Structure 1
């Protein structure tokens, strides 16, 4: 079975397009920027306040990885704590290292199977105890790799998982893990709710009408985790990754209380400098005349109290 986007069956860019990008044979060329050694805002977090927390929190670990504490449950989404993705080195340390994570992880969410979102070494270290919530088509990988507690979800499917309300929602992207499995598993985001609090993680996505559909179904999102990196050059990345301007537009469309930036500063996957989003987002925010307190562009290890959002 092959999965497709709301717009149609977008597949990964053709090899000729990838070569054109990598060789710089296009008009959006940028000067080369470092892949490592780029300072990213970081708060030392040894996890002590998370161990004893009875509140609802959100902590950025890096890339699209977050620890979510909601309704007394500890949840990870797209956890990647490895030092590299093969030959792609990690630029910044995880906002929470292994020792800082809560001892018990109840649920692990995976948005899609790209390696900066679904990291096998991290998952194997987490082990078989959590419930793994994955897009339809990915369950076989998890079961074959020793994870028996797997829930596969289709777009708009709703489940109550360990007392947490979960909906898998569309994104505009694609999937691939090996040589011959393009779009054989789905991709998407999650809306996660408990006790009147609701968070949304988009996964990887290009701009699409799905943001308005999500807003219509979930008009009271407290925090929206939105990607703001891996966007240059636009002719190549636009179909699969929103840029900071589109991320702010998505936030406004969703009507969420808090913008939480992600998918930047960790792995060098595109042409813009690794730290560009943190400089660009405040300027866009100001131009849009949005309340500054509603912008969390991204600080590794910083604990965001969901129950304190305005």
Structure 2
């Protein structure tokens, strides 16, 4: 049996002693034959080389709850005076290589040098479009934030970012991040790796943030599966004031459904957890899959209308745009 290089712990209902898995859900592993079948289908849409972005210049601190979209799954959450980044990536490629891999189509919605003081970084998993060690090194040098992540990811981060302050947890663990602020790691139907040899050796999760200004659920990457985990999030943690839900990188469905939701499924998640408001993330920055760049935003708007919701309850977040939220009365 292969040895897990990132995490050594007892088996559980989602860890077999070597690899993590999604209990009771369709497998996410895809072999070379599946990859060749996908690529030979030739159905990948052509994306623009670049899309203009109007960059934001955030305030140093915010008393309430404000979210600025940077791009992909990177957002600046400003809540009750605390500044938090999710899955930060400022690199031009989502890749282990500088010369190959998916390139940015949109510039970051905040210039790195315009970031306010960053107190906390939340990581959902170790895929290169979510755990970019070049960006983490820059953040460590400039801000030395606390970094919170699921099991095993700390081994990856500490090896690449000397001096990084890491806190880790399993699904449903609550991690204290500062005065009056904490994250609960929520299950997701996904997978993780850095190389072909370490598939599912580090855990994946979302983050359910509790702050004095309100609650924010950063879903992380997930498929819909049987939907059980989303009902559990609502039952255990309550309805979030704001949910950050992925809407892109879903085509073709035969390949991607077990690991990435589509916009209609994202709306189902939002309805299940009864989020007061939601932002669609994980779309339009890196071309990872087949769908046209603008399709997720259009499909989300259609799904929201079909639900009978106000159009602004769940919108596709645009890099550089700022979204104000508030806690429930």
Residue 35 of structure 2 corresponds to residue 15 of structure 1: no
How far is the alpha carbon of 1:291 from its aligned partner? 1.7
Q: Name 1:100's counterpart in structure 2.
A: 114
Question: 5 Å matches for 1:18-33?
Answer: 18-24=35-41, 30=43, 32-33=45-46
SS in structure 1 at match of 2:323: strand
* In 1, Cα distance between equivalents of 2:240 and 2:23: 22
Preserved CA contact (<8 Å) 2:214 2:327: no
SS in structure 2 at match of 1:51: coil
* In 1, Cα distance between equivalents of 2:251 and 2:74: 21
How far is the alpha carbon of 1:53 from its aligned partner? 3.1
SS in structure 2 at match of 1:23: helix
Structure 1: gaps of 5 or more residues: none
Equivalenced residues, count: 301
* In 1, Cα distance between equivalents of 2:312 and 2:216: 17
How far is the alpha carbon of 1:101 from its aligned partner? 0.8
Q: 1:53 to 1:194 in 2, by over 3 A?
A: closer
* In 2, Cα distance between equivalents of 1:309 and 1:97: 32
Preserved CA contact (<8 Å) 1:11 1:182: no
Q: Name 1:205's counterpart in structure 2.
A: 222
How far is the alpha carbon of 1:182 from its aligned partner? 0.7
2:60 pairs with one of 29, 48, 51: 51
Residue 100 of structure 2 corresponds to residue 91 of structure 1: no
Q: Over the residues paired in the alignment, what is the CA RMSD in angstroms?
A: 1.9
SS in structure 2 at match of 1:251: helix
How far is the alpha carbon of 1:6 from its aligned partner? 3.0
How far is the alpha carbon of 1:12 from its aligned partner? 2.3
How far is the alpha carbon of 1:3 from its aligned partner? 0.8
SS in structure 1 at match of 2:198: coil
* In 2, Cα distance between equivalents of 1:261 and 1:309: 21
SS in structure 2 at match of 1:261: strand
Q: Name 1:249's counterpart in structure 2.
A: 268
Q: Name 2:323's counterpart in structure 1.
A: 304
* In 1, Cα distance between equivalents of 2:38 and 2:153: 29
Q: Name 1:69's counterpart in structure 2.
A: 78
Preserved CA contact (<8 Å) 1:188 1:203: yes
Q: Name 2:145's counterpart in structure 1.
A: 130
**If the length of structure 1 is used for normalisation, what is the TM-score?**
0.92
Structure 2: gaps of 5 or more residues: 1-17, 95-99
How far is the alpha carbon of 1:35 from its aligned partner? 5.4
* In 2, Cα distance between equivalents of 1:110 and 1:236: 24
